[in-house]
């Protein structure tokens, strides 16, 4: 545990950050991404297409299609147009429901 960066591959991966402030980078498969304790960020910065990220379940679009996220507090989008809709009743900073350029 600690402040880790975990990178998935081309297959279906399980990325578990555990304790600490982690950056989790899913690959191109249908990945299970769990943040754990601390402030955890999922990153699609290296994705080759846009992403649609749902912070409360399965992601639905682009390079993030089929990924399941849990315990994630932050999102880094790709270089393509992406969005991160907030779940009903979510409160927090403006980034919680902002479009990610």
Structure tokens at 76: 């880094």
SS3 75: strand
Q: Is 61 exposed, middle or buried (0-12, 13-18, 19+ CB in 10 A)?
A: middle
- pLDDT one-digit tens code per residue, 14-61: 999 999 999 999 988 899 999 989 999 999 888 888 888 876 666 667
Q: What is the pTM of this model?
A: 0.76
CB atoms within 10 A of CB 82: 23
- pLDDT one-digit tens code per residue, 88-100: 544 443 344 333 3
With beta carbons less than 8 A apart as the criterion, state whether 51 and 26 touch: no
- pLDDT one-digit tens code per residue, 61-92: 778 888 888 888 888 888 876 555 555 544 44
Q: What is the mean pLDDT of the chain?
A: 78
């Amino acid at each position: 545990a600690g402040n880790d960066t975990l990178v998935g591959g081309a297959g279906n991966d399980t990325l578990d950050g555990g304790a600490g402030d982690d950056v989790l980078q899913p690959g191109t498969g249908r990945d299970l991404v769990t943040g754990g304790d601390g402030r955890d960020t999922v990153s699609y910065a290296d994705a080759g297409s846009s992403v649609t990220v749902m912070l409360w379940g399965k992601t639905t679009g682009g390079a993030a299609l089929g990924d399941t996220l849990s315990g994630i507090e932050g999102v880094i989008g790709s270089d393509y147009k992406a969005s991160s809709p907030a779940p009903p009743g979510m409160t927090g900073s403006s980034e919680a429901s902002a479009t990610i350029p």
